[in-house]
Structure 1
Amino acid sequence: MIKELWNKYKDTIPYLFFGVLTTLVNIVSFDVLWHFLGWNYQIANALAYLISVIFAYVTNKLWVFNSHTNTWKAFWKEMGSFFLFRGASWVIDQGTMTIGVSLLHGNGLVVKIIANVVVIVLNYIFSKFIIFRKRD
């Protein structure tokens, strides 16, 4: 039964595991830059997002979707696609932060966590069905 579940969700389970780690990298980076270093929350959010995207690319490529590119062209295309779609989800993340913190005066850390939930779902869809899809 466990093997059957693993085979059915072999992309989803590691994605959730590394997604949690990526989220922790994002939130901890944001908190360190914002609270401890005193950076503006928008700049801290942008840099934290970049750090977490680099972490996510490596983990998604190697351990989640087990993607192997045979040429440099394929590698750059895959990585470019990954960063392009993560850039789109960053716009959503940054927009949520701006609305939640600047307009609604919410707690930055709480808003960051909410933004991450939305972004994780979108990033899974982008990764599974577009970026790391199996090509013939």
Structure 2
Amino acid sequence: MNVRNIVAGVLLAMLTIRIFITFTSPISYQLFALFLAYTACVYAGAALSDSRVTWISIEFVVSFVFFNCALLGLLYSPLWIGLGFILHGIWDSLHHPRIIKTSVVRWFPPLCAIFDFIVAVFMWRFY
């Protein structure tokens, strides 16, 4: 893992957290939920450009899990959003050593994993 990826992931997470918490509590966690659902689409989009049906199917099923974590976070508890970010960080980690065969640029999964884990810790600690 490149040091630049770690630094970029940390800085982007801190910036996102700082921006989102400037809003009132319900709107703040709505933004986190929307961002979780949005980030879940990145790998699905990459799989679509790759054109391999198996990986497209896998990425869409997994993105549906993240979408549901965001939805449960809005309906029941923001802790679901935190869980979604943890799961997405794990999913990112599986893309980095190429366990998951969706074609993405090498720098993206580690950067995104760092981002996801920091946001998850924030969500579980402060909401």
Tell me the TM-score range normalised by the shorter chain: 0.3 to 0.5
Higher-Rg structure is 1
Normalising by structure 1, report the TM-score.
0.39
